[in-house]
Structure 1
Amino acid sequence: MKTRLNDLNERRKERNRTRIRTAAHGRARLSVHRTSRYIYAQVIDDTKGVTVAAASSLEAGLRGSLKTGADTKAASEVGKLIAERAKAAGITEVIFDRGAYLFHGRIKALADAAREAGLSF
């Protein structure tokens, strides 16, 4: 059962994805998903329909060093990790897909860390 708020979030997400697809010009998409406990990021090649790189605060290497997977420190660590993995896969330019989330807090921390680690968007 969908509520009105869920409908609005879905519309916002689809609106953002449509704009991203038109502006991408062949670049990969850095998609971000957050929950109340974790944050996830993946680099997706939409032309082939495959995930090139993925990282999350659930990974064993990050869980031991983080207090929680749901703060800006965790998001910045995931941003660094996804940038390293994307660069290892040969991708340096991406387009940022924030989904239905506003660009502040954890989403912004992940984006800033990915930029500092070498991804350009």
Structure 2
Amino acid sequence: MMTKKKTDARHRTKVHIRKTVTGTPERPRLAVFRSLKHVYAQIIDDTSNKTLLSISDLSKDLKGEFAGMKGQVKISKKVGELVAKKALEANIKAVVFDRSGYLYHGVVKAMADGAREGGLKL
């Protein structure tokens, strides 16, 4: 029962955050999702309701990037760097960071740090 309440609290937080955090064509939203095994990132333009790009540690074209990496925080940082690289190739220089109700700690923080190190302005 404790897990369900914690999940519900995260969902309420996510809905509250999404009321204020929106992506525009000039500054799209970088949304983070994490599961127990994997991490995902999407860059979304909310005005046209389109995902501009997405990346995860499951991406088939990036399997070699994560070879030999242990630990979700390290993988998350690498995903952040790769999403920044793809965003800069798509001429996206700045984004709004949407932590999706998760605490800004661990995997979420590592992804944000990786995106900043990759050259993306958060």
State TM-score, norm by structure 1.
Answer: 0.86
2:57 is matched with 57
Residue ranges of structure 1 left out of the alignment (5+ in a row): none
Partner of 1:105: 106
Give, in angstroms, the shift of residue 66 of structure 1: 4.0
For residues 81-100 of structure 1, the aligned pairs below 5 Å read 81-100=82-101
Provide the residue aligned with 1:36 in structure 2: 36
CA distance in 1, matches of 2:74, 2:11: 27
Q: Which runs of 5+ in 2 are unaligned?
A: none
**What are the Cα deviations for residues 57-114 of structure 1, in whole angstroms up to 9, with x where unaligned?**
112324651434x511100110011011111111111000000100010110110010
Number of residue pairs matched by the alignment: 117
**Cα deviation digits, residues 10-46 of structure 1 (max 9, x gap):** 110011111213xx56520000000000000010011
CA distance in 1, matches of 2:48, 2:9: 29
On the 8 A contact 1:32/1:42 being kept in 2, the answer is yes
User: What is the TM-score when the length of structure 2 is the normalising length?
Assistant: 0.85
Q: Is the 8 A contact 1:30 1:43 kept in 2?
A: yes
Q: Which residue of 2 aligns with 1:78?
A: 79
Name the % identity. Answer: 38
